[in-house]
Structure 1
Amino acid sequence: MPTTPARTTVNAAKGKARRNPGPARKPAAKPAARTTTTTTTTASAVAVAERPEPEAVETETVETETVETETVETATTADTETVETAEAVADRPADAPSDDSGPSKSALITMAVAIAGGFIALLDTTIVNVSMQETTARFGGINQVQWVVTAYLLALAAVMPATGWLATRFGTKRVFVAAAGLFALGSLGCAAAQSLDQLIAARGISGAAAGVLTPVSTILLTRGVPREHLAKVQGLNGSVMLISPLLGPTIGGLLVSWGGWSAVYVVNIPFCALLLAAALRWVRKDAPPAGSAKPLDLLGLVSSATATVSTVLAIHEYAEQGATASASLLVPVGLAVLGAAVFVVRELKATFPLLDLRLFRIPVYAAAAVNIFCLGFVLYSPMMLIPLYFEDARGESAVTTGLLMSTGGLGVVTAAWLSRVLLRKIGGGATVLIGISLTMLATAPLTRLTGDTSYLLMCGSLVVRGLGTGLTIVPTMTRAFQSIRQESIPDASSQLNLTQRIGGALAIAVVTVVLTDSAKAHHGMVPAAFAHSFGWLLGVYTLTLLPALALLLADRWEKRRTAASS
């Protein structure tokens, strides 16, 4: 703990004693902590008094120190609260909310910058998916153009595990600024691409930048935030993150109709420029102290990249071919298992691991991570099925589809407030159980979709679904970060964001296979095919109740342990 404020206060008291020496008086009774401070000061004075000096000087010194000691004792009694307050302010990070006067302007702008960084990475994925038809018309077949999406995911998955080390080694601000700048360059390369190979390469650059930008935004948002304020911060962040895929189809449709396929990439450039300007101007520097840098765990990085990239390739192949015993599926699955095994063994034995996997020994954190993976079906799967139903089964345009989907934002905004209340009253696990139950309730009408299902019913279902989704993702992320120490946030951010992305990719792949098989059985993308897919999805939601129950039990275990230790 810094001692500078305390020393400043004591020195000021000494100076005051020299200027206005008063009569000696017996100090009032003080608590144990204050007695310790006084004893230390008195001992220092005696040590000074016993130092060998000429006799005349020694007498003067002893007298002066005696007056100073008595005065400092009185000043210590009167100024203890000032010292404690000074130390508390010194210990609080610049970006942390202040309990007395609220967050500073710099802290609020830092929060906005962090949320905007994560928002643009998620929004980019959604609006690019809308542009696939125009991109196919420009560059060729859909099978080749799909690599625009796959390259992005591969680069993202390969780089994301290293984000924690980068933030610790170079500082959160520097890594955030570098990632935002690289994302802008990648978007510029995509917009200027003259061939499909150039577009795929530039999209890979954007994916690598997004793989760092997403978790480092979480680090920037949560650093220095007290545990009791995490629910509020995560509620705001979660609302923005959940709204981005709802707005994506509308924004993407408008951009494509205005400027063609390249417009979905051009829009990122001015947005990133504003983000960089705000970050450079307002975000506090946090360069690590000299000598504190950890060496890069190269074997951990290679093995983690092998595992994550192979997993994404296996998921992509599964979405294309289904569960077939082909080499194109079995080889990446085998590499993923091998890479994951090497990575886990290496990280548990390494002196300086790339990621701290020991965090999974914390019951609440482990249960939250499993929930984040499984909730990919809750968050991402309907975001694929519902727009396809509007466009293919009902013939709506991308813009109209986006406007219909945006009604779910009402539920998401409500969940941002309600999740904080429920977290405080009933805990994270119970809140997630309520959220999944609401999501199941909203999904039930979709299992009976027809060609003339009321749009009012659909929008009502989307609002309830937005509320349920917000009550699952936000409490889960909040409890994960509440269960760990501040210094573990970089590791946790990379782990949780990567878990969410892989879980979401797997969810979309599984639902794609289910919808494809259902469309074959019903002879096309007809309402009955979507109704069958939602029925299957409702069954999966039932299974996600199990990890939510595990989080509830972990919450109660932590509460009992805290009560027993207090």
Structure 2
Amino acid sequence: MPLLRVLRKSTPLGVLNYTARCSVARMNTISPATSADLGPVSARRLNLISAVLVLGAITSLLDTTIVNIALDHLHTTFGTTVAQTQWVSTAYLLAYVAVIPVSGWAAERIGARRVWIAAISAFLVGSLLCGFAGTLPLLVAFRVLQGLGAGMILPVTITILTRAAGRERIGQAMIAIALPGQLAPILGPVIGGAIIESLDWHWLFFVNVPICIAALAFAPRVLPRDAGQRGRTFDLVGFLLLTPGVAAVAYGISQAGGPDAFGAPESWVPLAAGAALLVGFIAHALTVKRVAPLVDVRVFARRSFGLSSVITFVGGFSVYAIMFLLPLFYQQIRGESVAATGLLLIPQGLGTILFLVLSRRFLANIDGRFVVAGGVVLTMLGIVPFALAGTSGGEVLLLAAQFVLGIGLGAVSLPVMTLAFASLSPDETPRGSAAFSVVQRVGAPFGVAVIAVVLQSRMADAATPAAALAAFGGTFWWVLAFAAVPLVLAWFIPKKPVAEAAPADPARV
């Protein structure tokens, strides 16, 4: 199976959710947001803000897996080659990552609420145009517009939520950002498969329309208003270094699918070029004086933010890799359909939901080191049954293992994100959100790509079902070994409860 297609079916691009206690209908009773709303808001208002932001973010997260499930169908529909059809996903991915670095500056210059509304609008228009596209080139072009909107949504969402929550409720804000990234790889294949079987491929994109319209309807009345700072000069040099650098790295990772993996020219050339551009941006960001850099790289020098970023990056080799492997295991080893696989993965989502619900009660009193380390251990325990599984039988054990995995994934992702953003002041949040999002969008796919290469090398000589099973089993053991890295790093987390990770002076973190 081509690695590019495999990656796009399973890589979580990220992270957003919260089940609001207030019904959507109650949003109409909220008075319009004013400029005074920039700081922390009431608990009820925070719930409503979370609900609106989730409406927008869940569509961009689900869109990736929903569409990827239909690539084979689109290949047949348009009568194009597989390589040509895969640009439906590649174009979206590159546009997505390329626009992230600009999100921080845009939120500061124009205002986070305006940028968020513009991003949702772009995604909505892109979805409509994709649904009406009659040729593959048009579909690919409109996917770029979709990706540009989607790439802005997550970092700006983080900015709005963390500002509205304030440092005292940073953990609650992170709960609102944690769940959809875990559920998207599970729900996406189910929804996409159902659309292809029951409706038409156009509805892969039209399904976004009512959700985006609802988000746009409530956003002006619910989201806090911030006027932006007109004097913010755009960092053009940084843009010319960082944006193509991130896009080149993402493209290089996505192309590591042939026999030579990362050694193939189509992979290592863009990776090397992207890395050189990123190094150039870091040097620029540390020395520029006249303008604020697109991404404030100095925040990585802080223990809390830097360590959280490292854990997030290396988590791609374990936490995100397991989410990549499980669907393949069920489909290639167990012979399950795409829709059945999505249903089998539900216990994992339930485990994550359980952790995020319970975490609101106990996280504030527990040392963050133990939460993250415990989450990694649970993840490792959930991997073992799959490393030892056969081609049939043991379903109850595997489902239970996925439930444990879900708890572990939530216990790793939530405290790490809380720790990262608790150290940022409101003014630092936009560029810090962009920086963290870049780490996520590069680290997770890179780790997954490495594991995919491990699996592909083992599957190359797997001529029998038993050999294929052994290949998967060996790859699961690799993931288990990689999990030891975040387990070790967890003990360097500051000795403070997760929900109280922010010090009085963020410069001293």
**Closer, same or farther in 2 for the Cα pair 1:559/1:204, shift >3 Å?**
closer
Cα distance change on mapping 1:340 and 1:263 into 2, 3 Å? same
* Alignment check: 8 A CA contact 1:450 1:528 kept: no
Q: Identify if the C-alpha distance between structure 1 residues 395 and 437 changes in structure 2 by more than 3 Å, giving closer, same or farther.
A: same
Q: Distance in 2 between matches of 1:133 and 1:264?
A: 14
Q: Is the 8 A contact 1:236 1:416 kept in 2?
A: no
**1:560 Cα offset (Å):** 10
Distance 1:469 1:333 in 2: 28
| Paired residues, number | 466
1:366 Cα deviation after fit? 0.6
1:96: Cα distance to partner?
2.7
Unaligned runs of 5+ in 1: 1-89
1:335 CA drift (Å): 1.0
Query: 2:252 — aligned with what?
Result: 314
Equivalences for residues 449-464 of structure 1 within 5 A: 449-464=389-404
1:64-89 CA-to-partner distances (Å, cap 9, x unmatched) read xxxxxxxxxxxxxxxxxxxxxxxxxx
CA 1:222/1:349 → structure 2, altered by over 3 Å: closer, same or farther? same
CA contact (8 A) 2:38 2:163 kept: no
- The alpha carbon displacement at 1:325 in A equals 4.1
Which of the numbers 146, 149, 152 marks the counterpart of 1:209?
149
Runs of 4+ more than 4 Å apart: 552-556, 558-562
Structural mapping, 1:500-511, within 5 Å: 500-511=440-451
Amino acid at match of 2:165: V
Q: Hey, what's the Cα distance between the residues in 2 that align with 1:529 and 1:364?
A: 38
Shift of 1:559: 9.4
5 Å matches for 1:502-521?
502-521=442-461
Aligned pairs (5 A) from 1:21-420: 93=37, 96-98=40-42, 102-104=43-45, 107-139=46-78, 140-288=80-228, 292-323=230-261, 325-351=263-289, 352-420=292-360
The question of whether the paired residues in 2 share the 8 Å contact of 1:115 and 1:221 is answered with no
Specify the structure having the higher radius of gyration (Cα).
1
Distance change >3 Å, CA 329–CA 243, structure 1 → 2: closer
Contact 1:96 1:103 (8 Å CA) reproduced = no
Please list the CA deviations of residues 314-339 of structure 1 after superposition, one character each: whole Å capped at 9, or x if unmatched: 11222334446443233212211220
Kept in 2, the 8 Å contact 1:407–1:459? The answer is yes
Taking structure 1 as reference, are residues 144 and 299 closer, same or farther at Cα in structure 2, changes over 3 Å only?
Answer: same
| 1:539 matches 2:467 | no
Residue 548 of structure 1 and its aligned partner are, at CA, apart by 2.1
**Equivalents in 1 of 2:250, 2:143: separation in Å?**
16
Out of 416, 429, 432, which is 2:372 matched to? 432
Query: 1:409–1:317: structure 2 CA closer, same or farther, 3 Å change rule?
Result: closer
For residues 192 and 419 of structure 1, do their structure 2 counterparts lie closer, same or farther at Cα, with a shift above 3 Å needed?
same
Structure 1 residue 301 displacement after superposition: 0.8
Residue 325 to residue 455, structure 1, CA distance change in 2 (3 Å): closer
Contact 2:189 2:339 in 1 (8 A): yes
Offset of residue 561 of structure 1: 10
Q: Deviations over 1:530-551 (max 9, x none)?
A: 2222111111112222332332
Q: TM-score, normalised by structure 2?
A: 0.86
- The answer to which of 526-535 and 463-472 deviates more is 526-535
On the 8 A contact 2:378/2:408 being kept in 1, the answer is yes
**C-alpha distance after superposition, 1:184-234 (max 9, x if no partner):** 111122222222221221111111111111211111222132212111221
**Structure 2 CA distance for aligned equivalents of residues 191 and 483 of structure 1:** 42
C-alpha distance in structure 1 between counterparts of 2:504 and 2:99, whole Å: 37
Question: Is residue 359–residue 365 contact of structure 1 (8 Å, CA) maintained in 2?
Answer: yes
Once residues 349 and 471 of structure 1 are traced to their aligned partners in structure 2, the CA distance between those partners, rounded to angstroms, is: 38
Matched residue of 1:355: which SS? coil
Aligned AA for 2:420?
A
Report the CA distance between 1:249 and its aligned residue: 1.7
Note the C-alpha offset of 1:553: 6.7
Q: CA deviation at 1:421?
A: 4.9
Give the match's secondary structure for 2:165.
Answer: coil
Output the amino acid matched with 1:252.
G
Higher RCO, 1 vs 2 (CA within 8 Å, ≥6 residues apart): 2
In 2 relative to 1, CA 147–173 (structure 1 residues): closer, same or farther, beyond 3 Å? Answer: same
CA distance in 2, matches of 1:553, 1:332: 40
The residue that corresponds to 1:528 in the other structure is 470
Tell me which amino acid in the other structure corresponds to 1:527: L
Q: Which moved more, 1:169-178 or 1:137-146?
A: 137-146
Give the superposition deviation at 1:452: 0.9
- For residues 284 and 544 of structure 1, the distance between their equivalents in structure 2, rounded to whole angstroms, comes to 36
CA deviations over 1:445-464 (Å, ceiling 9, x no partner): 11012111322111111100
SS of equivalent to 1:449: coil
- Structure 1 position 115, deviation (Å): 2.2
Q: Which amino acid aligns with 1:297?
A: D
Match of 2:177, SS? helix
Distance 1:555 1:221, change over 3 A: closer
User: Residues 484-512 of structure 1: CA distance to partner in whole angstroms, max 9, x if unpaired?
Assistant: 21211111111112211111211222222
Instruction: Give 1:432 shift.
Output: 0.9
CA distance in 2, matches of 1:256, 1:523: 31
Which one-letter code corresponds to 2:426 in the other structure? Q
Q: Distance in 2 between matches of 1:257 and 1:234?
A: 36
Q: How does 1:543-554 map onto structure 2 within 5 Å?
A: 543-552=485-494
Structure 1 residues 330 and 501, CA gap change in structure 2 (3 angstroms): closer
SS in 2 for 1:318: coil
Partner of 1:496: 436
Matched residues in 1 for 2:266 and 2:358: separation? Answer: 46
Q: CA offset at residue 552 of structure 1? A: 4.7
Change over 3 Å in CA distance of 1:524–1:159 after alignment to 2: farther
Tell me the CA shift for residue 177 of structure 1. 0.7
Structure 1 residues 294 and 208, CA, compared in 2 at 3 Å: closer, same or farther? same
**1:480 partnered with 2:424:** no
What is the aligned partner in structure 1 of residue 15 from structure 2? none
Report the Cα distance in structure 1 between the residues aligned to 2:268 and 2:85, rounded to whole angstroms.
24
User: Displacement of 1:164 after TM fit?
Assistant: 0.5
Asked if structure 1 preserves the Cα contact closer than 8 Å seen for 2:258 and 2:264, the reply is no
Q: What RMSD in Å do the two structures reach over aligned CA positions?
A: 2.5
How far is the alpha carbon of 1:143 from its aligned partner? 2.0
Q: Is the 8 A contact 2:318 2:480 kept in 1?
A: no
TM-score normalised by the chain length of structure 1: 0.77
Describe the superposition over 1:368-395 as per-residue Cα deviations: whole angstroms up to 9, x where unpaired: 1111112223343222221122222222
Could you tell me which amino acid in structure 2 is paired with residue 204 of structure 1?
Answer: V
- Cα distance, 1:555 vs. partner? 8.5
1:78 corresponds to: none
